[in-house]
Amino acid sequence: MWAHLKIELYKIFRRPRTYLAFAAITALIGVIQLGLLVDGKEYTSFVMADFTSSFAVDGKILNGYFICYVILQLLLVHVPLLIALIAADMISGEANMGTLRLLLTKPQSRTAIVTAKFLASVIYTLLLLIWIAVMGLFVSMLIFGTDDLFLMKSSYVVIVKESDVFWRYAGAFCFAALAMLTVTSLAFFLSFFAENSIGPIVATMSIIIVFTILSTMNIPIFNIIKPYLFTSHMITWKEFFDFKVNDANEAIVGSIQYPEKIIRSASILLIHIIGFAGTAILLFRKKDILS
């Protein structure tokens, strides 16, 4: 399977569209960083307008940690498209080119072949996330420096001590990996049903857009189904940036406000990954290959 995985990775990284995704991320992050470097004060004064009418905030709010948070908030909504471009093409692309039957003539089990394909798209997704971490976190830290992380939630403010931030990003990126792998496995699963890659790419994005809209709308009837939508759990990475306070309202450094929420969301996403990928592998084993 290792040999086949290498072949699949070779196929992925031979395609220009793979690099298009990395270029798109570089450009997007670059644009955000440039915008905040030039006019970041305007942005923060807009977001903090209500808060600063009563409080004076002193310190370097626009630091690398804050920029990375803004980037993650904006990008993790759009990255699924870049993931779907590759993952949704894994099986349907072969079917479209008519190479699927040829591929299955190899002296390897179908399970090994399709698992290698899935693992290759997982590696692509993780590399994309690592690239986001490099560009979004490390480059932002280089450009903007570091300080405490000042975050405005919808009804309260969290200031995370500088020394307490980095491990939270490590956790957030690990969680984001789970969220993005859910998209990968969904796109991979849909790829099984199509003879060309456009269909599963559009289908993946449509599902994510519809689910995200349903997750965002605060309407009672949608609130019932929200916990069952995987998109509601994809944003739980933010929970890493909220900590507990004791009875005297003193911050407990190194704590997480709702660790159980992270565990629950991570489990739900993991179940989705196993469900989508497992079903795709099972179905592929019995697929009648005609193309």
Q: Closest by alpha carbon to 84, among 24, 145, 165, 166? A: 24
At its nearest, how many Å lie between other proteins and the CB of residue 223? 9
Tokens of 128: 């994309």
Cβ neighbours of residue 241 under 8 Å, at least 6 residues apart? Answer: 69, 149, 151, 158, 160, 168, 172
Residue number with CB closer to other proteins (130 or 252): 252
User: Is 96 in contact with 197 (CB distance < 8 Å)?
Assistant: yes
Q: Closest by alpha carbon to 24, among 90, 88, 78, 72? A: 78
Tokens of 119: 């693992």
At its nearest, how many Å lie between other proteins and the CB of residue 76? 9
Tokens of 197: 């890659």
160 forms bridges with which residues in the sheet? 149
At its nearest, how many Å lie between other proteins and the CB of residue 156? 4
User: Is 65 in contact with 149 (CB distance < 8 Å)?
Assistant: yes
At its nearest, how many Å lie between other proteins and the CB of residue 42? 15
Residue number with CB closer to other proteins (56 or 221): 56
At its nearest, how many Å lie between other proteins and the CB of residue 113? 39
Site residues (vs other proteins, CB under 8 A): 47, 50-51, 53-61, 73, 147-148, 150, 152-162, 164, 215-216, 218, 226, 232, 235, 238, 242-243, 245, 248-251, 253, 257-258, 261
What amino acid occupies position 49? A
Residue number with CB closer to other proteins (110 or 244): 244
Residue number with CB closer to other proteins (183 or 201): 183
Residue number with CB closer to other proteins (66 or 192): 66
